[in-house]
Amino acid sequence: MTLASLIEERLSRQTLLAELGPEGRDRIARTHFLVVGAGGLGSPALMYLAASGACRITVADPDTVSTSNLSRQLIHGDDALGMNKALNASRTLPRLNPALDVRAIPFVLEGERLLEAVREADIVLDCSDNLKTRHAVNAACAKLRKPLVFGSAVRFSGQVTVFDMREDESPCYRCLFEEDDPANDLKAAAVGVFTPVTGIVGVLQATEALKLAAGVGEPLTRRLLMIDLLRATFDIVRYKRRKSCPVCGH
């Protein structure tokens, strides 16, 4: 069996969907995804991108795998303890898709390196866990007009939205979250996180990125999906561009 026929068979159930078909499968395969973070959100996002037929992924993460990561960062196992997360992800992801070309960036993405990585990508997924990185990635995507899929998870709660910077009136991350508000910078390492919520958010990020790549469905733009697993609720908060936003406002 050739590699092409193997991939076609692996994706056959997804390709049966009328909304996708072979055309959607091929658009996903041609899309270059940049995933910033290979931890709690990045792990499920990366796994489902690869398993869904993505053939070009760049993953960036300067962190190393620790024992406390393993319960929710399922792309990493005991054999990866002490390894860089991006490098280990690039080692394990091809098992889900042998046609995958994955590049690892094992250092902090900032400045020109960040701009270069965003410039080379078609769609960016922010799976990071700190406010500084989120604002830097947002600014780069706004400057280069690249769609950004944002997710966050802490305690029993999660958030997901899409900022499609290709649209002239698209809001951005800074429209919703200020740089200096500590309430926006809660970390799982400090306040805890329910393991399943990271999987749900990461898979939803992959879902939105795949929809953008295939050009199907209604993207989660101008709508913030709020997840509360304690109450088992999924709520939508609508938002719009803030004219005074220093990143995307006019």
Q: What is the mean pLDDT of residues 43-56?
A: 98
Global confidence as pTM? 0.95
Q: 216 lies in which domain range?
A: 3-238
By mean pLDDT, which of 10-24, 106-120, 185-199 is the weakest? 185-199
Is 148 part of any domain? yes
Is 246 part of any domain? no
pLDDT at 174 over 70: yes
Q: Which residue has the tokens 């002490």?
A: 82
Alpha-carbon gap, residue 161 to 220, rounded angstroms: 5
Alpha-carbon gap, residue 171 to 190, rounded angstroms: 30
pLDDT at 186 over 80: no
pLDDT of residue 160: 99
Q: What is the mean pLDDT of residues 153-180?
A: 94
Total domain count for the chain? 1
pLDDT of residue 180: 73
Q: What is the mean pLDDT of residues 201-223?
A: 98
Is 58 part of any domain? yes
Indicate the average pLDDT of the chain: 95
Is 243 part of any domain? no
Is 120 part of any domain? yes
pLDDT of residue 181: 65
pLDDT at 249 over 90: no
Q: Which helix (H) or strand (E) holds 87?
A: helix 85-92
Q: What is the mean pLDDT of residues 25-51?
A: 98
Q: What is the mean pLDDT of residues 70-96?
A: 96
pLDDT at 184 over 60: no
Reported as a single tens digit per residue, the pLDDT across 94-129 is 999 999 999 999 999 999 999 999 999 999 999 999
Alpha-carbon gap, residue 83 to 70, rounded angstroms: 13
Q: Which residue has the tokens 């054999």?
A: 79
Q: Domain containing 208 — which CATH number?
A: 3.40.50.720
Is 205 part of any domain? yes
Is 245 part of any domain? no
